[in-house]
Amino acid sequence: MYQTHTDVTRELADLKQQAKANERIWGGFRSIEISAIGAETFQQLVYKVVHGIREAFPKVSQVTLACLNLDYEIVRILEQCRGSRDSLAHFIMLNDDELSRWFSHAPRPILGACSPAACKRFFPRARRPVRSMALSPLVASGKLLGCLAQGSEDPRHFTKETGTELLEHLSATIALCIRNTVNVTRLERHGLTDPLTDVPNRRFLERRMGEEIERCRRYGRPLSCVMLDIDYFKKINDRYGHSVGDRVLKGVADTLHDGLRASDILSRYGGEEFVLLLPETNLGHGVKIAQRHHRKLGSLAFDVEKAEQLNITVSAGVAVLEHVAADYGVDVGHWLLQQSDEALYQAKREGRNRVVAAG
């Protein structure tokens, strides 16, 4: 049977409408991911995820983050919270057995009707009935950390037939941000903190480098690396003494730390060198981030002898890992650090006080 012109026109209109709807959905997920990556604290992360989902998807009336108490670090984070009650109202603590029961077979999203037990556990503050739900496991480095729970009053909003690819990627990003927040609090206990600057040391960077490369390989997302070096640092020590040099290192570390996103990793690599790992960041964006840090560090001033003020400059090299083959036979982390280091030395050769991208 041949289709009439009217039938074909109607089908094309339906396809265009579906394409626009899919574009809105993809854009909504992407905006939530970007917002989550930009969160600087655990409280901000909860707030941005909850409000980002509600804003992007109005039919989702309930959102909570349910997490394990990872080595009691979550409790410590909550104890330090000030003025974050709105964010923490959407946070639920789970134990390992409870989480395992919900995801007993495999860590895959659970979509469909919301049972009374699920509503009571994941949406305790809901004032209206939750008819359908999506429970998305939060997995980082193969470990189940918790789940992202979404509820809707519409019984057809979340169904077993709903595609989960975007939801799984969002959950992976949120898990990464949660893990980073928890890692910061456990650094000192594991001896992964530089004692002078209170930022992660090279040992911590080496651990995280492998995890981020595996994430790059699995999801095909870029990983940028920025290596920064304080210009003429030896002259600062020689002229003003090591106590001033230590203050400069601490000031640089504090300034870099203040500008981090939740997903970024800062490390004192050695001496006067610092490294920034920037997940899901391409070369162009990595250069912009490096330039922003470069400007902030260039505005620092340190009081030294006889009311004199010391200003510093830094040089930086930026490199990117666009993708990783499934069967890579080289030390990819070493390669990425080497590329950023070569770009750094090019910045030095060109006169210092600048940012250079690896070719």
**Mean of per-residue pLDDT scores for the chain:** 86
Please list, in sequence order, all residues whose beta carbon lies within 8 angstroms of the beta carbon of residue 309, skipping any fewer than 6 positions away: 301, 302, 303
Q: Do 139 and 252 have their domain in common?
A: no
Tell me whether residue 30 is in a domain: yes
Tell me whether residue 197 is in a domain: no
Q: What is the CATH number of the domain that holds 211?
A: 3.30.70.270
Would you place residue 10 in the very low, low, confident or very high pLDDT band (cuts 50, 70, 90)? Answer: low
- Asked whether residue 274 carries a pLDDT value surpassing 90, the answer given is yes
Tell me whether residue 193 is in a domain: no
Query: Domain range spanning residue 330?
Result: 202-357
Tell me whether residue 97 is in a domain: yes
Give the mean model confidence (pLDDT) for residues 52-58: 93
Q: Do 115 and 207 have their domain in common?
A: no
Q: Do 159 and 83 have their domain in common?
A: yes
Range in 14-18, 214-218, 272-276 the model is least confident about: 14-18
Would you place residue 187 in the very low, low, confident or very high pLDDT band (cuts 50, 70, 90)? Answer: low
Q: Do 175 and 98 have their domain in common?
A: yes
Tell me whether residue 254 is in a domain: yes
Q: Do 218 and 158 have their domain in common?
A: no
Q: Do 47 and 164 have their domain in common?
A: yes
For residue 171, the model assigns a pLDDT of 93
Q: Which is more confident, 215 or 290?
A: 290
Tell me whether residue 196 is in a domain: no
Tell me whether residue 285 is in a domain: yes
Would you place residue 41 in the very low, low, confident or very high pLDDT band (cuts 50, 70, 90)? Answer: confident
**β-strands 91-94, 60-68: how paired?**
parallel
Tell me whether residue 245 is in a domain: yes
Q: Which is more confident, 78 or 171?
A: 171
For residue 22, the model assigns a pLDDT of 66
Q: What percent of the chain has pLDDT over 70?
A: 85
Long-range contacts of 46-51 (CB under 8 A, 24+ apart): 46/87, 46/88, 46/90, 46/91, 47/84, 47/86, 47/87, 47/90, 49/148, 49/174, 50/87, 50/90
Q: How many domains does one find in the chain?
A: 2
Range in 77-81, 158-162, 242-246, 295-299 the model is least confident about: 77-81
Q: Do 164 and 213 have their domain in common?
A: no
The whole-model pTM stands at 0.61
For residue 271, the model assigns a pLDDT of 92
Q: Do 20 and 164 have their domain in common?
A: yes
Q: Do 245 and 114 have their domain in common?
A: no
For residue 83, the model assigns a pLDDT of 46
Range in 252-256, 267-271, 330-334 the model is least confident about: 330-334
Q: Do 272 and 303 have their domain in common?
A: yes
Q: Do 132 and 231 have their domain in common?
A: no
Q: Do 164 and 206 have their domain in common?
A: no
Q: Which of 57, 44, 140 is nearest to 87 (CA)?
A: 44
